């Protein structure tokens, strides 16, 4: 049975949207996840929502217990994960407010626990394209139906945070071929791969990082303001996409 984990929230724990809402306070062998699990249904499809940075956004990017988050969703029976995230754009064509469905990831983090296999066994997980092609293509198709400006197949680079990039770093990431930048996709996507979960990201472009001279450099206030302005897009996308995913990819 398909069961979808949503990381990020985007207001989808609103009782008016989820049916049969329950909250589960769980723990894993890697510790507690960032928040309680909010369970329910969307269009008849079982859904589990987890807030990556806590319900009050109190957990810094490098303090997120990514292993506990992914393991908690796996233990809850999730087969798929849709992760929502704010991103900076490293390309002119990806404008603030656009949605992005990445296919590739560059991990530029430095101190995070990045694998479940760091003790008793060594497992080498293939991650040529760590995001589910089927899942992101379905999300892209739904974005087309809704008339949302979006980009399918981008490359995301994840930095450690909590600081934003220097201009030199921003230009370097562009030269590497990265299209968007955030602080949360890695190692989340790789951990999902290790547990056999189909994973896709719905990224919302909020700014142009700091490479674009005719745009104001990114700030936390800018990110939060634009997320609030455009979060409704993500909500509409998921409400339309989840029943389709439930029918099988």
Q: List pLDDT tens digits, range 229-239.
A: 778 889 899 99
Q: Is the pLDDT of residue 22 over 80?
A: yes
Residue 9 pLDDT: 57
Strand partners, 249: none
Is position 151 within any domain? yes
Tokens of 76: 């809850």
Residue bearing the bigger pLDDT, 23 or 11? 23
d(CA 127, CA 114): 13
d(CA 6, CA 32): 17
For the domain that residue 238 is a member of, what is the CATH number? 3.40.50.1580
Is position 207 within any domain? yes
Is position 38 within any domain? yes
Residue bearing the bigger pLDDT, 123 or 147? 147
Residue-number span of the structural domain to which 122 is assigned: 4-244
Q: pLDDT band for position 126 (50/70/90)? A: confident
Residue 122 pLDDT: 83
Q: Is the pLDDT of residue 13 over 60?
A: no
Question: Cα–chain-centroid distance for residue 25?
Answer: 22
Tokens of 114: 């990045």
Tokens of 242: 């989840």
pLDDT, one tens digit per residue, over 183-226 is: 999 999 999 999 999 999 999 999 988 888 877 777 777 777 77
Is position 249 within any domain? no
Q: pLDDT band for position 248 (50/70/90)? A: confident
pTM score, whole prediction: 0.93
Is position 195 within any domain? yes
Contact by Cβ (8 Å): 212, 134: no
Total domain count, the chain: 1
d(CA 113, CA 186): 10
Kindly list the catalytic residues. Answer: 207, 209
pLDDT, one tens digit per residue, over 135-193 is: 999 999 999 999 999 999 999 999 998 999 999 999 999 999 999 999 999 999 999 99
Is position 19 within any domain? yes
């Amino acid at each position: 049975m398909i069961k979808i984990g949503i990381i990020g929230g985007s207001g989808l724990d609103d009782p008016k949207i989820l049916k049969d809402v329950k909250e589960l306070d769980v723990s894993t062998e890697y510790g507690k996840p960032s928040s309680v699990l909010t369970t329910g249904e969307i269009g008849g499809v079982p859904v589990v929502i987890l807030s990556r940075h806590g319900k009050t956004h109190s957990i810094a990017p490098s303090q997120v217990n990514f292993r506990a988050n992914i393991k908690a969703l796996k233990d809850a029976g999730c087969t798929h994960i849709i992760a929502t995230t704010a991103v900076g754009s490293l390309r002119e064509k990806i404008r603030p407010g656009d949605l992005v469905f990445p296919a590739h990831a560059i991990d530029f983090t430095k101190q995070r626990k990045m694998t479940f296999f760091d003790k008793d066994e060594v497992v080498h997980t293939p991650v040529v394209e760590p995001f589910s092609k089927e899942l992101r293509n379905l999300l892209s198709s739904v974005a087309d139906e809704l008339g949302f400006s979006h980009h399918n197949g981008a490359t995301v680079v994840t930095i450690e945070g909590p600081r934003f990039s220097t201009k030199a770093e921003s230009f370097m990431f562009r030269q590497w071929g990265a299209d968007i930048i955030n602080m949360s996709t890695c190692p989340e996507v790789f951990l999902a791969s290790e547990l056999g979960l189909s994973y896709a990201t719905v990224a919302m472009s909020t700014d142009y990082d700091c490479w674009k001279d005719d745009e104001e450099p990114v700030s936390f206030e800018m990110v939060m303001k634009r997320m609030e302005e455009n979060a409704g897009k993500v909500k509409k996308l998921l409400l339309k996409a989840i029943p389709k995913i439930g029918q099988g990819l």
